[in-house]
Structure 1
Amino acid sequence: MGTTVTHAPAMEGLSQDSEPRHGPVKPGRPAALTRRRRRENLAGYLFMSPWIAGFLLLTAGPMIASLYFAFTDYNLFDAPRWIGLDNFSEMFGDPRWRHSVQVTLWYVAVGTPLKLIAALGVALLLAQSRRGQAFYRAAFYAPSLIGASVSVAIVWKAIFSDDAIVDRTQKILGIDAGGWTGDPDMIIYSLVALTVWQFGAPMVIFLAGLKQVPRELYEAAEVDGAGTLRRFWNITLPMISPVLFFNVLLETIHSFQIFSSAYIVGGGAGGNACGPADGSMVYTCYLYVQGFENSRMGLASAMAWLLLVSVALVTAVLFWSQKRWVHYEEGAR
């Protein structure tokens, strides 16, 4: 009787050394993905490199250098000499510097609200459906595109000069006040008029905010008997308060940075680069005078950094105050 050898049934497609049915895990795939990500990151950095180089060479580098110059006596020709806080001490004791601060604060406190009031008023008119609406929007927005140019400032100076259109209009009305650009007390008003004339940019932002206010709120208020002013105060302003905050923040910062219009409108009048008797001596104009006309770049750098810190503090105060008067939708903050 012979012995029979039984063989274990072979498991189809599986042995001790075989891989699972879904195939072997390729050990090279993670390395390939890593190389691909590296190539993509390298391409991204290459595209960003012009901006990075420009930021380091034209923004970050000069800012760091000016921070050092703020504590030195530097006149653009000789090597800077470290003097500590002497530039700041001289600045605070300078009556012209204090005058430039007063002129700038007056300009910001008067020009910014008037510009925003004009922008909001025109936006309320344009928010209503009417014929030619696109034309009116473009016409009101155009001054904000060209208002900051040198050519407009030159024309503005000519308009408010002696025996120009504003002076002649005043004489027709029986007011013999002369041109505004030659009057130390009136030249700042011409700058305010110029900035109010450029209300187009905040107007467009206000208009976008007004379009987002639900019509149902106004209809419900009308049913309750609310008048136009009450609807504006209790519905429109709270609903567009985030947009209003944005415009207040931007326009306040822009007002502190005014330079070209003040320098051009006031330049040469009364033999002074910033208006007759320093009438248009805003902070940045006096900074320019110290840095480039008096060749005191160390003092100008100290003034620039003080302006930067001051604007940052004003911005921080505005952000702190928004929780009291800015109303966001739940979850939108």
Structure 2
Amino acid sequence: MQPTLLQIQIHISIRALTMFLLKTWRLTAFSLYGYLNFTKSAFFGATVYMVCRNKERGEEALSRIQSMTGNQNIHLEVCDLSSVSDIKSFASQFSSKDVPVHVLVNNAGLLENKRITTPEGYELNFAVNALGTYTMTELMMPLLEKAAPDARVITVSSGGMYQTPLTKDLQFSETSFDGVQQYARNKRVQVALTEKWAEMYKTKGIGFYSMHPGWAETPGVAKSLPGFSKAFSGKLRTSEEGADTVIWLALQPKEKLVSGAFYFDRAEAPKHLMFAATKGSHAAIDSIVDNLRSLAAISS
């Protein structure tokens, strides 16, 4: 039976209506998606949690960042990263938010030239740079897994690590204390830890990267290395230039990055200098991780 003219007209009208509704939906969906993701507000729309030791200075930085970016989704969390107890307390409270952590930046660092022992009994440089970094990262792992496969951990190391191999003398107790050397040792630990984490959690959808910001002119450098700061006055990088590769690592598609690698100026960099005899020392990382886990009292 052949369709009548009326049936053909109705069929065409329904098809045209369907196409019109589909086109309208596509335009509406695209407009909404574009507004949420492609506009300036979306670019500055990340939710950022600043973990600071000093509440007053943290609030000052928070206000300045909000004013500069227009992003009100910046939050201050107060935590002393030299204290395992404080880190555990922070991690417990923060975990109750049950929010995915897409990017964890381990940026807290210290170079104290005098030997100082924390109330928990640890050498201060080690407590912040090595034990604090390890403890915070391990306790954030469940929230990082919530953001997989896009989660990543970026640890801000230093070119100072080129000066020293990995050593099991984590608290510099076997020889006369040298703050600059201890800092370099801590930074070597961070690079080796990043390698180890990449291996341990390779099936978890989390990328691990360490990086060197370059020699930047910061209050910390001026205080801890006054001679160095004076000698290179006018030649050091700005804080923004030092942070550039951190931001780049946070935003790069993970398939373009190498988990466990060390980065400098937006490119993978060597972890060892020629003839420096540091590469073989990384074999000690397993026993170092066991030591850190024991000191942090974190179950495996």
More strand per residue: 2
Determine which structure has greater relative contact order: mean sequence separation of CA pairs < 8 Å that are 6+ residues apart, divided by chain length: 1
Higher radius of gyration, 1 or 2 = 1
Q: Which band: TM-score by shorter chain?
A: 0.3 to 0.5
TM-score (norm 1): 0.30
More helix per residue: 1
